[in-house]
Amino acid sequence: MKEHLPSHTQASRRDVLLGALAATVAVGLSRAATAQAEGKRNLPSSTSTKGSTTMSTITTKDGTEIYYKDWGTGPVVTFSHGWPLNADAWDGQMLFLAQNGFRVVAHDRRGHGRSSQASSGNDMNGYADDLASVIETLDLKDATLVGHSTGGGEVARYIGRHGTGRVAKAVLIAAVPPIMLKTEANPEGLPMEVFDGIRAGVAGDRSQYYKDLALAFYGANRPGAKVSQGTLDQFWLWSMQAGAKNAYESVKAFSETDFTEDLKKFDVPTLVLHGEDDQIVPVKDSARKSAKLIKGARDIYYPGAPHGITATHQDQVNAELMAFISS
């Protein structure tokens, strides 16, 4: 049998319930605010010149938010990713090194991945300064800087602009330096038409363009290649997270920037890794030249290997990194 209460009694009970609910919410908000304040107090302090930090995000001087991940403890290794990917492209290396006694830090380049899509600063100076913001805000010291493809240019320009005061070693993997574009000074380079085609792909049907690009990136278009569909799919997923304007402007940055003088400023042990069948950054006009410009550089070439060797030759790359960093 249902109990029929007087209307004023029902209203009274409703008021009591609403009051209790309001009190619960107020307590929850108060606790959240307290936790947030405690969290802010425990975050790394930022330098006044290089920006501020929140959990997993650094805000640069121009207001761009740079996402980063920071795993493990021990000697520091930073990672700069290739175009148009993000820090997740380094997971195979980061997980391995974090499990073997290293602190690994990787950030999404401005306009890529989880970083904000800045309208300006989409050039190598901007990228290098963002890397400096990460390094200085997190107060990283004696770090090994690792860069793949465009990220290798970022590492080179960082050393050229900011020196090696916080750097112990450097690693360039399938990296774009010294310069990709064909010029009078670099007749072996790729013609401008190649990069115009990349820009057209980004400005047009970029989704399909990235799917097609993945095949050459990992060498999946070569006879007998064993590249999983998952590897190709993740390339597309990461690429689609890059802002169209940022990816478009980055083409000029990675293709036309001349890193010759930057490479000459390297004064730390440097390892150069490159696949000999790299269809994106041809080895003869990149690694082989960079290794000659960097004093004392050690260079290793993988026969028949593609551009994306951090994925296709993950175990080999991990072993090379471990041996070099630990030496």
Buried b (16+ CB within 10 A) or exposed e, 14-26: eeeeeeeeeeeee
Q: At 100, list the tokens.
A: 């073997």
Active site residue 267: no
Q: What is the 3-state secondary structure (H, E, C) of 265-279?
A: CCCCCEEEEEECCCC
Take residue 185 and report the two structure tokens written for it: 């000074």
225 phi and psi angles, rounded to 5 deg: -65, 140
Would you call 327 exposed, middle or buried from its count of C-beta atoms within 10 A (0-12, 13-18, 19+)? exposed
149 among known catalytic residues: yes
- Is 148 a catalytic site residue? no
Q: Which of 81, 112, 274, 307 is catalytic?
A: 307
Q: How far apart are CA 162 and CA 156, in angstroms?
A: 10
Which residue in 278, 285, 286, 290 is the catalytic one?
278
**Helix (H) or strand (E) run with residue 197 in it:** helix 192-203
Kindly name the residue from 149, 239, 250, 290 that is annotated as catalytic: 149
Contact by Cβ (8 Å): 153, 259: yes
Cβ neighbors of 25 (< 8 A, separation 6 or more) are none
Q: Which amino acid is at 90?
A: W
Residues identified as active-site? 149, 278, 307
